[in-house]
Amino acid sequence: MLFRSITRTSCIAMLLALAFSAPAFAQSQTTPQKLVTDAQKTLDNFLRDPDQTWIRDNIGRAKALLIVPQIVKVGFIFGGSGGQGVLVARNGKTWVGPAFYDLATASVGFQAGVEVSEAVIVVMTDKGLNSLMATTFKVGGDASVAAGPVGAGAKSTVTADLVSFTRSKGIYGGLNLDGTVVHANTDWNSQFYGAKNVLPPDVLLRKTYKSAKAAPLLAAVAKVTK
């Protein structure tokens, strides 16, 4: 019994370490400004794809967009995936942001090597947006999530707080974001806005902090959500 308990505890610790090593790796490869620039490119990738009619048809109703240019999936048997993203939100008639986030998911199952994906999570409800204002948020736990329809099924009706789309090497789908832990990256918020302890509500709700460096991304989002 003791051995089983130790083994279970060790596995959980290993899973968490693997899951959070991916966003740490991604963070070492980029900067806040580059992440914002890459987010604009990722959104454009999804919107230009002919199979992504659901996003184009429904993005005008979105409360917010969580854009993740790179999700790294690593491991062998025990694994995890993680990355960094930016959240932009509708505030009245304008779009504001971004706020920076880390994402991490632990998983068990046969897997080997490294896989890189990108994702767009369309926030469709106030509940979904309010959940993301917390320091830590669990996708599918605090707000419902559904995989976004693509291709022939893109006209389907989806009812969820969050609708997620993932893309890996030009192929859509394949990465389940349910159970992903999303954590506000206060350090990167502070770096980007030049202030201390900048939280998502300061940027997205109260609009206390703004940056001209975000203008191209916000303009691109505003253009496609009219």
3-state secondary structure of 203: helix
CA–CA distance, 97 with 64 (Å, rounded to integer): 10
Query: pTM for the full model?
Result: 0.80
Q: Which two tokens stand for residue 6?
A: 């130790």
Q: What is the pLDDT of residue 105?
A: 74
Tokens 């896989």, located at residue: 115
Whether 159 shows a pLDDT value over 70: the answer reads yes
CA–CA distance, 115 with 39 (Å, rounded to integer): 19
Q: Where are the alpha helices (DSSP H) in the chain?
A: 2-28, 32-48, 53-58, 126-131, 186-193, 200-204, 215-224
**Residue 85 sits in which domain range?**
2-224
What's 149's DSSP letter? P
Whether 26 shows a pLDDT value over 80: the answer reads no
Using the Cα atoms of residue 29, residue 33, residue 36 and residue 40 in order, give the sign of their dihedral. negative
3-state secondary structure of 146: strand
Kindly report the average pLDDT of the chain as a whole number.
Answer: 79
pLDDT (mean) for 189-209: 95
pLDDT band at 25 (very low <50, low <70, confident <90, very high): very low
Element housing 87 (H / E): strand 78-91
Whether 200 shows a pLDDT value over 90: the answer reads yes
CA–CA distance, 137 with 185 (Å, rounded to integer): 12
The string of pLDDT tens digits covering residues 135-158 is 888 877 878 888 877 665 555 667
b/e code 184-198 from CB counts within 10 Å (16+ = b): bbbebbbebbeeeeb
Residue with more model confidence, 29 or 118: 118
Considering its fold, how many domains does the chain have in total? 1
List C-alpha distances in Å: 93 to 2, 96, 104, 204, 223. 59, 10, 32, 13, 12
The string of pLDDT tens digits covering residues 38-95 is 999 999 998 988 878 888 888 999 999 999 998 776 555 445 567 899 999 999 889 9
Instruction: Give the distance, in angstroms, between the CA of residue 211 and the centroid of all CA atoms in the same chain.
Output: 21
List C-alpha distances in Å: 45 to 63, 88, 146. 20, 17, 20
Q: Which two tokens stand for residue 46?
A: 């999804």
CA–CA distance, 217 with 35 (Å, rounded to integer): 11
